[in-house]
Chains A and B, each alone.
Chain A
């Protein structure tokens, strides 16, 4: 569409300029997976079958499925009513509720797990404050709780957007055809929410499959935990490689399956009339009370709990002795996250420009590839890079440069999203007029395109930066010696049962992650 405005000769020159870095990005995404397969195939068939065809593998599969199912169900049970309350009712205070509902994004799964664990036990919050020793939450229930309370906002944001975009006449039509409110919800509203629901489920599902911190702390044996064990306690590279491959296959299968399903339910709006703004349901007092009870419970569990437990642990011992360590960890986190954000944006720019301005099979393909880093579970992705570095790039092995590169690739999709939508909004004829005024392709990009997509670039930069700041699994596998970012410090202390020592790190992560939420709230519309 837009590309046709640019003369063919110039287009091919610009395309070539962009194609090289784009292909590099594609290769960087694929090469490590290639080495992962290579390493996995080193084993002879008998070893592989004896490793994989044992009851434990099946158990891991069942556990992984059970965890994903549990998290999806619980997250939906939390997110759907919350989204409905904040978009479709006149509940007083629904704006504040909206902010509170998204804030748990600032509490990563492993911090949530830390909080739940800190609640229980002999020294736990509940015993110290109320004299009740709760059993340590663990296994399926503990992992499901920790992950649902952290991930439900992804679904909430999607459902919220869909609910407020739902054409009210659809629901009114159904009522005119004789359906009561409940029937309207199940027959019209719910089907309409399905694409948003599935987009949210995809994000949460991928996160759950790939999560390692929460399941490790909750000692729930899913594939990613088994990968962690295979790597950390036995450094069993072969088994780790195979589990990583299984994880990659599961993740890609989930993505493929979701895409297929989405194909089936097309919800193109029919007609071009102005959709009526959804009307707010007036809640009777009793329903209002129930709504407050429900949302209060969610907010208390997802936000109040970690904050309370954390404050409790923080107050047990003075923080100042660990302050130098904390600062050092913080600056180490910073020293990986900041260059990673910069690199991610630099890599995303050519990929995005090529995809938006010069759509072609190749640019589309690389754009899909860019999501590999996002879809493939982090631990598996990082392991692939360990093999890649050992075999093909020993100079990168155990360096901060590799960690930064892997962060940039893993979070490339986060940078790509806002930059791409900014490019779609920027008018291509501005570029054409710059060219006609004598600017070359590079000059046009710097003077015209870049200022136009500044917001998108900043959004991508901030998102990648903040997510990388609290990243755990990749840091776990790829941190060079002496590199102890916040997440690692928190994780190693919590897994040693040293909850007091872990508290300052958890607090630092939560405080900093507040920025994530700010970024997410600001770019609510742009996040998928």
Chain B
């Protein structure tokens, strides 16, 4: 796709919330009795046109949740409804939900065009052909229509898989780790294309990923999962700025988790008294993002630089202060050598964590 400008983040709260497309309530799935549930009491909704990510480490239950929504697994308890219709026990082919698999699952014996036409079997042949070519045009692969899947690059296969799914115009598309098979450079490029295509097609989507950067860049909302449960759900900005737990804070971006004594709107930390994003009391942990901390060389400062990594657009510093090592992200200049005494300051408020 030519449109490579990152989509402008519109805070969803400002818009009128569109109607709910998919509602998942109290979903639980246990594969082996006696073992921990793969998915436990998971509830969330997806609005029309919305792109929701299920984000979490491997084994957190995100793929199982996706397969439950797709109809490839049956939940032990819970309810899934699409536009108000209960689809909990419908087979996959009756749900009208698109699914893009991690390895794209292109049919190897069919050409690119035949793959895209695969789901259009109830359409007259000419019409299906036209629609499939349109979809290939949409993903910029019109000239590869007669190729076989194995003759395409990973990114091209990815787009064919998406075109095949979007061709049948499903109201909801499920994407399972869609970018994990692409190299790093391709990944950044492709994910904005995918987002643009989904938005253009007007489809809602649920995307499963373990890559927080991907989730932040693509999603309207993110559901962070751990141990089969959703730990937090919200816009990328909310999740990043106000993680509710230590797990979320350290899984999304990097955080310095510091002990603190909270008294309402502020808390006492090794950096002194800091404003809290929400009120808390007593012994709490607070999350301080590395970019919230500034460094000033100061022979009387409380910290010592113990490590440094130059990353071009910024620098990482590991600073020993108050008996612990704190991670700081600073601009590319000036360069502060290790061993230098520094003064640390925290700007903006910090987040008290639960759990």
User: Would A167 and B92 be within 8 Å (CB), given that A177-B118, A270-B150, A271-B154 are in contact?
Assistant: no
Contact stretch, chosen from B103-111, B132-140, B232-240, B341-349: B103-111
Please tell me which one of the listed residues B70, B119, B150 contacts residue A266 in the complex, with CB atoms under 8 A apart: B150
Residue on A with the closest CB to B106?
Answer: A270
- Contact between chains at A173 and B105 (CB < 8 Å): yes
Q: Is A175 an interface residue (CB 8 A)?
A: yes
Q: Is B121 an interface residue (CB 8 A)?
A: yes
Contact stretch, chosen from A187-195, A294-302, A306-314, A403-411: A187-195
Please tell me which one of the listed residues A173, A188, A271 contacts residue B157 in the complex, with CB atoms under 8 A apart: A271
Q: Is A47 an interface residue (CB 8 A)?
A: no
Q: Is B148 an interface residue (CB 8 A)?
A: yes
Q: Is B93 an interface residue (CB 8 A)?
A: yes
Complex Cα spacing A180 to B94, Å: 8
- Contact between chains at A268 and B108 (CB < 8 Å): yes
Please tell me which one of the listed residues B93, B102, B103, B152 contacts residue A176 in the complex, with CB atoms under 8 A apart: B93
Q: Is A452 an interface residue (CB 8 A)?
A: no
Q: Is B72 an interface residue (CB 8 A)?
A: yes
Residue on B with the closest CB to A191?
Answer: B109
Complex Cα spacing A180 to B95, Å: 12
Cβ–Cβ < 8 Å partners of A270 in chain B: 103-104, 106, 108, 149-150, 152, 157
User: Would A192 and B103 be within 8 Å (CB), given that A177-B164, A177-B165, A178-B168 are in contact?
Assistant: no
Contact with B along A254-278 (1 / 0, CB 8 A): 0000000000011111111111000
Contact with B along A165-209 (1 / 0, CB 8 A): 001011011111111110000011001101000000000000000
Cβ–Cβ < 8 Å partners of B150 in chain A: 266, 268-270
Number of A-B contacts (CB under 8 A): 99
- Contact between chains at A172 and B72 (CB < 8 Å): yes
Contact with A along B285-316 (1 / 0, CB 8 A): 00000000000000000000000000000000
Cβ–Cβ < 8 Å partners of B168 in chain A: 177-178
Q: Is B99 an interface residue (CB 8 A)?
A: yes
Q: Is B98 an interface residue (CB 8 A)?
A: yes
Cβ–Cβ < 8 Å partners of B70 in chain A: 172, 176
Q: Is B91 an interface residue (CB 8 A)?
A: yes
B136 smallest CB distance to A (angstroms) = 16
- Contact between chains at A188 and B107 (CB < 8 Å): yes
User: Would A174 and B165 be within 8 Å (CB), given that A271-B104, A273-B181 are in contact?
Assistant: no
- Contact between chains at A269 and B108 (CB < 8 Å): yes
Cβ–Cβ < 8 Å partners of B164 in chain A: 173, 177
- Contact between chains at A169 and B105 (CB < 8 Å): yes
B198 smallest CB distance to A (angstroms) = 16
Complex Cα spacing A268 to B152, Å: 12
- Contact between chains at B99 and A172 (CB < 8 Å): yes
Please tell me which one of the listed residues A178, A191, A269, A275 contacts residue B119 in the complex, with CB atoms under 8 A apart: A178
Contact with B along A412-424 (1 / 0, CB 8 A): 0000000000000
- Contact between chains at B92 and A172 (CB < 8 Å): yes
- Contact between chains at B109 and A180 (CB < 8 Å): no
- Contact between chains at B104 and A174 (CB < 8 Å): no
Complex Cα spacing A175 to B164, Å: 13
Complex Cα spacing A267 to B109, Å: 6
Give the residue among B97, B103, B181 with the most A Cβ atoms within 10 A: B103
Complex Cα spacing A192 to B149, Å: 14
Q: Is B354 an interface residue (CB 8 A)?
A: no
Q: Is B101 an interface residue (CB 8 A)?
A: yes
Complex Cα spacing A274 to B103, Å: 7
Residue on B with the closest CB to A175?
Answer: B92
Please tell me which one of the listed residues B72, B93, B165, B174 contacts residue A179 in the complex, with CB atoms under 8 A apart: B93
Please tell me which one of the listed residues B107, B177, B180 contacts residue A191 in the complex, with CB atoms under 8 A apart: B107
- Contact between chains at A170 and B109 (CB < 8 Å): no
Cβ–Cβ < 8 Å partners of A266 in chain B: 108, 148, 150
- Contact between chains at A169 and B107 (CB < 8 Å): no
Complex Cα spacing A265 to B97, Å: 30
Complex Cα spacing A167 to B109, Å: 14
Please tell me which one of the listed residues A173, A187, A269, A272 contacts residue B101 in the complex, with CB atoms under 8 A apart: A173
Give the residue among A268, A270, A274 with the most B Cβ atoms within 10 A: A270
- Contact between chains at B101 and A192 (CB < 8 Å): no
Cβ–Cβ < 8 Å partners of B177 in chain A: 273
B72 smallest CB distance to A (angstroms) = 6
User: Would A271 and B93 be within 8 Å (CB), given that A178-B168, A266-B108 are in contact?
Assistant: no
Interface residues of A (CB under 8 A from B): 167, 169-170, 172-181, 187-188, 191-192, 194, 265-275
Supply 27 A–B pairs (Cβ within 8 Å), ascending by A.
A170-B107, A172-B101, A173-B99, A173-B105, A174-B107, A174-B118, A175-B91, A175-B93, A176-B92, A176-B93, A176-B174, A177-B93, A177-B98, A177-B118, A178-B122, A178-B168, A179-B119, A191-B107, A194-B109, A267-B109, A270-B104, A270-B157, A271-B102, A271-B106, A272-B181, A274-B102, A275-B103
Interface residues of B (CB under 8 A from A): 70-72, 91-93, 96-99, 101-109, 118-119, 121-122, 148-150, 152, 154, 157, 164-165, 168, 174, 177, 180-181
16 more CB-based (< 8 A) A-B contacts, given A177-B164, A179-B119, A271-B157? A169-B102, A170-B105, A172-B101, A173-B101, A173-B164, A176-B70, A177-B98, A178-B122, A181-B91, A192-B109, A270-B150, A270-B152, A271-B102, A272-B181, A273-B103, A274-B103
